[in-house]
Amino acid sequence: MLQRTIPMLILSASGLILILAYFSPVTVVWSDTVVGWFNILAGVAFVLGAGNLLAVNLEKISARRPGWAYAAITLASFGAMLVVGLGKWGAVPNPSFPDVHLAGDQDSTQSAYGWVYEYVLSPLTATMFAMLAFYVASAAFRAFRAKNIESILLLGTAFIILLAQVAAGAFLTNWIPEDRWYSFVRAEQLKEIILNVFQTSGMRAILIGIALGTAATSLRLILGIDRSALSKG
Amino acid sequence: MAVLFAMWIGASVVMADAVVAAGVTSAAAVAAAPMPPAAEDVLLEDVPEDAGGALSVRWRTPDPSVSAGAVIERRATDAERAKDPNLLWVEVARLGKDAVALQQSAHVLSELSNSEPTRVRVSIIGTDGELSEFVESEPLTPSVTIFSLSRLPLFIVVLVVSMAVLGWVVAARMGASTRIRRIAALEAVDEAVGRATEMGRTVLFVPGIQDMNDIQTIAGITVLGRVAKTAAEYDARLEVPTCRSIVMTAAREAVQSAHLAAGRPETYSEGNINYITDEQFGYVAYLSGQMTREKPAACFYMGAFYAESLVLAENGNSIGAIQIAGTAEPSQLPFFVAACDYTLIGEEFFAASAYLSGERDQLGSIKGQDVGKALAIGSILVGATLLTAGALLPDSVVGGRLGFLGNVIRAFFGG
């Protein structure tokens, strides 16, 4: 009973305070407190996450399961970053507390943590992100197959937008005079019409639906109508 | 020797003269350095619609070209003077060149007391660091706003939508029809989990990359509860790698509850729900690797997604998994639509949990949500018609009135 009721009450109170604070500035202090509690909770939960990471990877190594070497690399990297981050080697002294080593700043590459972040993590992240270009190409290839009316419309729209984005669009349609009624068929104007009229109206319709869905979901959770995200039971 | 001594004395005298002369010159230079002109029209204004702790200081900088910044001091409060009777002014801001680059300058002071008047004074910093005379403002007490009037229209809309949702929940309890249209993506959940069971492969559920303070993650976790119940009933293995520690904890609770509800608590395994990393692309790398190695038969992406959406969906597509996605990030929807078998678009995603539950209360809340949608559609149609009529009849009285009404509707909705 308590396992459901107490989280439910906390959820309802927090939700109502956050809504109230949006309309009543005098209660912003309460919402700041709620957000502060969440941050504390997230900080504590991070220990759980780190513990889980250790447990899963140690188990994988000890059982010599397939890919255990990757688990070992993960743990070694985790340990190294933990030591480097907590040790704060090379941290830039804090102007307010120059004698306190732990108050130093690790953002710059002068610190070991900053160096690893800048020269190891960032390139790895950028590599993963760069792969997106290939995925976009393969997804576009599949999406733009003219299978039915909708696909043909999608293909045609994409073709116009792509054409208007490159010099070929201007090269092919610049001969159309700008001051005539049919000037809208110029590539750059067609692109503007598609983006500002069709795309914007569609996007706004989706956004209105999202806003209403968010409100209804919040209400279901705050009033306890939907408890599936809560405790056992 | 005597000659050398005389030369040394002579040199010393010359050097001493030079030093004195230099000192006089320097002193003259300092005396001649122009003090920057003092700030003018120092004025305190209340910051509207706040909790009552902020004031805006405005002043005029007479000559920005000889000003390098400004110092703002506040009159010490009674409490501060009780601690230190000699304390009259407290420096609250020392601003750089940008603050005085234009003649009209402003700076907002926060964390002020709203129980006693605040008085401030401003001094301009000269290019040589010298301060001009301080110029004081009139005292002003920050005012407290109980209700933000600029948000009244939104408050009314929220109230109407909330009342509609509650009204439909009550109506559903009293037996009103709760039939809602079929959502193909949600109908396919059983099919996807069933396929994974038949193939002896896993079901992968990705609850997005945001924390539990994001409504999309909460919606994703509620859907997870329903998917987990189906997986428990079919005895399929469900894996939930998470990007946040709290999400892992919430996902474990939801999946455990689902197994209990399905009457199969013994099949719940905490080890299938793990925390991976907070790092966006680190998480993506893990998921891509897991998909390639384990080839899950069904992949669910329910939550907040950004650049990783297409990477995940394309990986899932390449291994031939049934993919069902749901997100409220409009920019990511096209990627999911292109690469997944089914996509829950915007509001469908938020309705998913209620739809899958089949409970009358929850289905009623979706009906109530539709009242809000009808209100939005009606307002758009009426507003657009009135504004169009106003634009078509610009010189007539009727046209002017219609246009005015259209603008009132637009202003009400913040347009």
Residue B53 sits in a domain whose CATH number is 2.60.40.10
Domain end among B327, B358, B389? B358
Instruction: Tell which A residues from 64 to 123 touch B, by Cβ distance under 8 Å.
Output: 66-67, 121
Which of the 8 DSSP states describes residue B164?
Answer: H
Q: In this structure, is residue B168 part of a structural domain?
A: no
**Is B142 domain-assigned?**
no
In a domain, B275, yes or no: yes
Q: Find the helix or strand (DSSP H, E) in which B241 lies.
A: strand B238-242
A132 touches chain B (CB under 8 A): yes
Count of CB atoms within 10 A of residue B61's CB?
Answer: 25
Whole-angstrom distance, CA of residue A214 vs CA of residue A220: 10
Q: Which residue among A25, A132, A229 places its CB closest to the CB of B250? A: A229
Within 10 A of B388 (CB to CB), how many other CB atoms are there? 13
Distance from B282 to chain A by nearest Cα, in Å? 7
Q: Collect the ranges in chain A with pLDDT lower than 70.
A: 1, 229-233
Contacts of B166 in chain A (CB under 8 A): 219, 223
Q: Which of A73, A220, A227 to substitute to test the interface with B, most B CBs within 10 Å?
A: A220
Complex ipTM value: 0.89
Q: Is residue B264 part of a domain?
A: yes
Closest residue in A to B144 (Cα–Cα) = A26
For residues B42 and B137, the answer to whether their CB atoms sit within 8 Å is yes
d(CA B143, CA B113): 10
User: Do B195 and B322 sit in the same domain of this protein?
Assistant: yes
Same-domain pairing of B250 and B126? no
- Residue spans of chain B under pLDDT 50: 1-31
Inter-chain contact A132–B49, Cβ cutoff 8 Å? no
Chain B contact for A166, CB < 8 A? Answer: no
Which among A26, A50, A67 has the least Cβ separation from residue B51?
A26
Rounded CA-CA distance A197/A206 in Å is 14
Chain A residues with beta carbon closer than 8 angstroms to that of B346: 206-207, 209-210, 213
- Residue B103 phi, psi dihedral angles, 5° rounding: -65, -40
| pLDDT at residue B27 in the model | 46
Same domain, B260 and B113: no
DSSP state of B139: P
A121 neighbors A154 (Cβ within 8 angstroms): no
Q: How far apart are CA B393 and CA B400, in angstroms?
A: 7
User: pTM for this structure?
Assistant: 0.83
Q: Quick one: CA dihedral B204, A215, A228, A29, positive or negative?
A: positive
Amino acid present at B379: S
Residue of B nearest to A134 (CA): B311
CA distances from B286 to A60, B311, B387 (A): 15, 12, 53
Q: What is the pLDDT of residue B35?
A: 78
Q: What is the CATH number of the domain that holds B223?
A: 3.40.50
Residue A1: per-residue pLDDT: 64
Rounded to whole angstroms, the Cα distance separating B172 from B371 reads: 14
Number of domains chain B is built from:
2
Burial of A66 (C-beta count, 10 Å sphere; 0-12/13-18/19+) = exposed
Residues of B in contact with A129 (CB under 8 A): 281, 307
Domain ranges for chain A, please list them: 2-132, 133-222
Residue B339, H or E segment = helix B333-339
Q: Please, what is the Cα angle at A103 between A97 and A104, to 5 degrees?
A: 100
Using CA atoms, how far apart are residues B308 and B283, in angstroms rounded to an integer? 9
| B194 shares a domain with B130 | no
Same domain, B206 and B113: no
Torsion of CA A36, A40, A43, A49, to 10 degrees: -110
Q: B257 and A142: CB-CB below 8 Å?
A: no
Q: Which residue of chain B is at minimal alpha-carbon distance from A67?
A: B293
Which residues of chain B lie closer than 8 angstroms to A226, CB-CB?
A: 222, 353-354, 357, 362
* Domain end residue (candidates: B121, B136, B151): B136
Last residue of a domain, one of B358, B373, B396: B358
Residue B129 sits in the same domain as residue B184: no
The answer to whether position B161 is within a domain reads no
CA B328 to CA B210: how far, in whole Å? Answer: 12
Whether A215 and B161 lie within 8 Å, measured CB to CB: yes
Model pLDDT, residue B168: 93
Give the residue numbers spanning the domain of B46.
40-136
Q: Dihedrals φ, ψ of A227, to 5°?
A: -115, 15
Please indicate, yes or no, whether residues B326 and B188 belong to a single structural domain of this protein.
yes
B218 with B123, same domain?
no
In a domain, B335, yes or no: yes
State whether the Cα torsion A106-A108-A109-A114 is positive or negative. Answer: positive
Torsion of CA A160, A165, A168, A169, to 10 degrees: 50
Asked whether residue B27 is domain-assigned, the answer is no
Q: Same structural domain for residues B122 and B266? A: no
Tell me, yes or no, whether B92 and B221 share the same domain: no
Query: Does B116 reside within a domain?
Result: yes
Determine the pLDDT at residue B377: 92
